[in-house]
Chain A
Amino acid sequence: MSMPDSYLQYPMRRYGMDHELYSWSPLPQRQPVTWPGGARIALWITVALEWFPLNMKGVPFKPPGAMVTAYPDLRHYTLRDYGNRVGVYRVAKALAQHGIPATAAVNAAVAARYPALIGHCGDWGWEVIANGLDMDHLHHAGLSREDEHQLVARTLETLRQASGQPVRGWLSPAKSQSPATLELLAEAGLDYCCDWVNDDMPYRMQAAGRELIAMPHPCDVDDYTILINNHHTEDDFRDALIDQFDLLYRETDSQGGRVMAVSLHPWVIGQPYRIGALEEALAHIMRHKGVWPATGSQILDAWRA
């Protein structure tokens, strides 16, 4: 057995990236960013509001938080839905103590199913961005471009109608994209995408001849990753947020403003025994001078200015 000759040919072997989606740009070599009021840190809290259907198919893979047992997996269905009924209200209270506006990444299904929750997001001053249709509609290469276009259009229409907001940002369920996703998002007029975890700062992506900004939405500084996936303790989660903040804060001495992004899932962090960890981390962060708690769109607009 042998491999075809093409296996040892490297057509994209060149300076920079092996694709045209964005340019290579080492973080320390960029122009320093200035935030409003001379802030050092733009604090960006994202809250994912998710609905996992009981009959989910998990195509082409099961997203984190999917059903586990044979149908009907009431246990996981209800434990996820807990976030939308109970957990999110604990998160909102913790943020409100410091006047922090969150960016809610919302499944269209959540907006349709729970109008009161979307109303509350508006009352809290949260920005609503799209998190796909629901957690069983992943964007992947197996979708036709037309089907994926419809998925994006239906998601945005539902969320714009339910929230009354422009809905400028997008987070794909499970951060899963097809080769066409970025173009479809740009064509839909979205300003920013939260799927790529390759930077600590916003940067420009090119799609369909338009500019789409990648926002630094993390998979590491994330309650699901730390508490569920890694089985770390609540205190570990708190310390991760604090250590992340402290280092970024120090970097601003020499490198201009930074974004501190935190990814939350109310069904995870909103449990009674966990919420205190978020409260303690926020208390540490907000004790510092030069912290600007902002939504994704506010950060994006300031970064562009």
Chain B
Amino acid sequence: MKADPGFYDHLPYAGRPKIRWPGDARVAFWVAPNIEFYELYPERNPSRAAWARPAPDVLNYAYRDYGNRAGFWRMFDAMNRCGMRGSVSLNVAMCEHHPEVIQACADRGWEFYSHGTYNTRYLFGLNEAQERAVIQDSIDTIRKYTGQKLDGWLAPALTYTDNTMDLIADMGLSYVCDLFHDDQPGPVKVKKGRLTSIPYSLEMNDVIVYNVNLVSPRRYGDILKRQFDRLYREGEESGTVMCIPLHPYLVGQPYRMAAFEEALDYITRHDKVWLATGREIAQYFNEHYYDAFAAAGQPIGAL
């Protein structure tokens, strides 16, 4: 086991190469709905239990299923009203289970990237061939159902092996959402390929906010606006990235929608904000800043 994953050099926030986003935007803003399928009777992974209660965990299963049946459609409408495309963090088995959801997103020009196969199948303990099979499944399924090339990755339920980053880069993906060390994109060191970390955010993630930090909906709206205001201010000096990761079963509850939509409306009405997708941010960064950021990185010293 490694003490340091070795994915990035040190690069202080002060004194970096300056980022200028398209249209002179200060913030590249993206919204990442996690469209997930949880299994009622998943295969067991020894590193993590899928459910808090013995199977069938009816309460927790149904709570998440609500997202696809009800919450998604409400979140989808709110995003459309704000002119915000989603970058779908997709459990790809959703394509078979609920193609209506996939079709609705595709019709609106949303991006699909991979969040594994099911949110109840973890990468912990997979050997290289098994992990490659999971990634290939994502590439093939997203291509088959949406016609899109898979570019991005957020590991299912944030579970990994030491190989994950090397494998997704090797298999042609260009960005990853699993690293939370920065408010700007940055190079990820991999054996082969070119991989960029795009800021996703746990702090703005409705799962963390609602299920871990236990905040109220209006407080969530307040947090989103505060985060945006600061990144917008700092983005005048050098472009920043803000992501709102969502889960329809949480944000799509009727009592939570108004505060979220108000914050989304507030953000998207700003003048100098680039309403982007994960792929667009990654492509732009890779073309214009990847090399400069890689060159500016400082090697990490040994203790």
Contact = CB atoms under 8 A, between A and B. Distances in A.
Interface of A: 53-55, 69-72, 74-75, 77-79, 81-82, 84-86, 89-90, 108-109, 112-117, 120, 133-134, 158, 231, 233-234, 271-276
Residue from B161, B179, B302 with most neighbouring chain A CB atoms (10 Å): B179
Interface of A is mostly: helix
Contact of B12 (A117, A234, A274): A117
Contacts of A74: 5, 158, 160, 178-179
B48 A112 contact: no
Given A72-B162, A112-B303, A78 B1 contact: no
Contacts of A72: 1-2, 5, 160-162
Contact of A82 (B180, B224, B302, B303): B180
B298 A116 contact: yes
Contacts of A112: 301-303
Interface residues of B, number: 42
Contacts of B303: 108-109, 112-113, 133-134, 158
Nearest to B1: A55
B159 interface: yes
Contacts of B295: none
B287 to A, nearest CB: 23
Nearest to A108: B303
Contact of B48 (A70, A86, A274): A70
Contacts of B202: 75, 79
Contacts of A54: 1-5
Interface stretch (B34-42, B80-88, B226-234, B246-254): B226-234
A78 B183 CA distance: 12
A59 to B, nearest CB: 15
A75 B180 contact: yes
Contacts of B234: 272
B269 interface: no
B14 interface: yes
A231 B179 CA distance: 23
Contact of A69 (B48, B162, B223, B300): B48
B79 interface: no
B11 interface: yes
Contacts of A86: 13, 181-183
Contacts of B230: 272-273, 275-276
A89 B227 contact: no
15 contacts: A54-B1, A70-B47, A72-B5, A75-B202, A81-B181, A82-B180, A84-B10, A114-B298, A115-B298, A116-B10, A116-B12, A231-B214, A231-B215, A234-B226, A273-B230
Contacts of B226: 234, 272-274, 276
Interface string B66-87: 0000000000000000000000
Contact of B14 (A89, A158, A272, A273): A89
Contacts of A108: 303
Contacts of A53: 3-4
B300 A113 contact: yes
A71 B1 contact: yes
Contact of A120 (B11, B12, B203): B12
B118 interface: no
Given A78-B181, A231-B215, A273 B12 contact: no
Contact of B301 (A78, A114, A133, A272): A114
Contacts of B1: 54-55, 71-72
Contacts of A78: 178-181
A273 B10 contact: no
Contacts of B47: 70
B51 interface: no
Contacts of A273: 203, 223-224, 226-227, 230
A72 to B, nearest CB: 5
A276 B232 CA distance: 13
Contacts of B180: 75, 78-79, 82
B211 interface: no
